Amino acid sequence: MGISTNRGRKNFDEINITPLTDIFLVLLIIMMVIAPMLDQQGLKLLVPNHQEAKQIKEQPKIINVDISDNGSISINGNTVSADSLMFRIQDEAKQKKDGLMIQASGNAPHGSVVSVMDAARTAGVTSISVSEK
């Protein structure tokens, strides 16, 4: 009469891969659902052709405002007083709707730049850029 060490149990010979298969199927389904969403991201750009680019360069539609060291303001080369600044910007904005470019010298008074920006906002200009001469 020999003593059995198994005592009626079977040896563990195989690995149950059913749970592993379930996990892989769930991951596959998640990837299949997410993959079409990844293709929709990005920027939609419309690149102008060569002729359109030449027309844009030939006809700038931006109001150019220059501010000198002493605070004098000129719009498209014509000197403007502080009183008529807003009205002059309104007149120019009717023809040039792309925005306003303020080119101030490095020593221009800060108040002059702010007054041009305020006048442009009051005149209805929505796009204002500032650069240094």
Q: CATH number for the domain including 71?
A: 3.30.420.270
Total number of domains constituting the chain: 1
Whole-structure pTM over 0.85, yes or no? no
User: Is 18 a domain residue?
Assistant: no
Sheet with 128-132: strands ordered across: 78-80, 73-75, 62-67, 99-104, 128-132
Structural domain harbouring 127? 58-132
- The crossing angle, in degrees rounded to 10, of helices 85-95 and 110-123 is 50
With 80 as the cut, is the pLDDT of residue 1 above it? no
User: Is 80 a domain residue?
Assistant: yes
User: Is 112 a domain residue?
Assistant: yes
Across 98-111, average pLDDT: 84
| Better-predicted residue by pLDDT, 47 or 99 | 99
104 vs 58: CA distance, rounded Å? 24
Give the pLDDT score at 47: 66
Alpha carbon 25 to chain centroid, angstroms: 40
